[in-house]
Amino acid sequence: MAAEKLAGQVAWIGGGASGIGAAVAELFAAEGARVAIADVQVPLGEELARRIGRAGGQAIFTPCDVAQETEVRASIEQAVEQFGGLQIVVNCAGVVHVAKLDAYSSDDWDQLMGVNVKSIFLAVKHALPELRKNRRSYVVNIGSVSSFVGQASTPAYTASKGAVLQLSRSIALDYAADGLRSNCICPGITDTPMLRYHLSKAPDPDAALAERLRRVPLGVAMLPIDIAKAALYLACEDSSGITGTSLVVDGGYTAAAEWK
Ligand SMILES: NC(=O)c1ccc[n+]([C@@H]2O[C@H](COP(=O)([O-])OP(=O)(O)OC[C@H]3O[C@@H](n4cnc5c(N)ncnc54)[C@H](O)[C@@H]3O)[C@@H](O)[C@H]2O)c1
């Protein structure tokens, strides 16, 4: 049997109750990590922690609005208290708001930036005292293909994902000397509740998905596990030497401006 890649590691996963974050929690637990799932979706997060337990893994759910500093600090403290340390932070929480800029309110903008960007600042800030105790530690942030290219009718989301990539680089530079590696995964179209919500804004969601997939060379939506596998790679020594960069998992979406 292959050795577990995350044996002895503790991972805190922001936005871990659903979609990509849930896949990360399940994969990391299967690879031997003890995982703390932090999310606002309480019943979903609690059920995921139980499911991981039933599968033989170790997980706790900690209710947490990742945009609120006191909640993030308490959630990370709970993970450390429960599991005795912290080596890995994965920031998966995200929201999308579909509207053109002129239809946005200041509150819409602030709320999205709080969840998608400020959350990373808060999680890393409050995890750092623990992360620094390890010879090696890992921050994995979920950006998007929108970290690189524009996306219509989502000005705050697109701006937030550019910021996630740059923040990942900044963290990499400032804490490399502490043995911390920070990287950003940039998923393309991935079949999660967020994608389904985004598509529901179109008159015909199935047609909208088919139209979008025509621009994906592999022709399919990514699955949450595809992104989780990339997160696993960046959260262990399989990726030693890699920091301050991005890993695009998009079925080829950003590879070309035009293709047939
Ligand atoms: N699905 C895609 O096509 C796609 C593509 C590129 C990037 N992403 C990114 O992947 C990440 C995960 O999204 P997903 O597609 O799995 O969607 P999802 O909606 O299934 O998961 C997002 C999670 O974030 C949580 N969350 C939202 N606000 C929160 C808050 N204030 N505090 C704590 N948790 C909060 C939600 O409860 C949910 O569990 C996001 O950052 C998203 O922007 C998704």
Q: Which of 102, 212, 120, 202 is nearest to 161 (CA)?
A: 120
Q: Whose CA is nearest to atom 19 of ligand 1?
A: 194
Ligand 1 midpoint to CA 2 (Å): 31
Q: What is the pLDDT of residue 1?
A: 65
DSSP strand pairing (58-63 vs 10-14): unpaired
Q: What ranges do the domains of the chain cover? A: 10-192+224-248
Residue with tokens 């400020």: 118
Which ligand 1 atom lies nearest to the CA of residue 193?
Answer: 20
Q: How many CB atoms lie within 10 A of CB 5?
A: 18
Pocket test for ligand 1, best of 65, 146, 185, 194 (most atoms within 8 A of CB): 194
Q: Whose CA is nearest to atom 1 of ligand 1?
A: 190
157 annotated active-site: yes
pTM over 0.95: yes
* pLDDT by residue, tens only, the chain of 260 residues: 688 999 999 999 999 999 999 999 999 999 999 999 999 999 999 999 999 999 999 999 999 999 999 999 999 999 999 999 999 999 999 999 999 999 999 999 999 999 999 999 999 999 999 999 999 999 999 999 999 999 999 999 999 999 999 999 999 999 999 999 999 999 999 999 999 998 998 999 999 999 999 999 999 999 999 999 999 999 999 999 999 999 999 999 999 887 77
CATH code of the domain made up of 10-192+224-248:
3.40.50.720
Are 15 and 61 in contact by the 8 Å Cβ rule? The answer is no
**In 131-165, which positions are buried (b, 16+ CB within 10 angstroms) versus exposed (e)?**
beebeebbbbbbbbbbbbeeeeebbbbbbbbbbbb
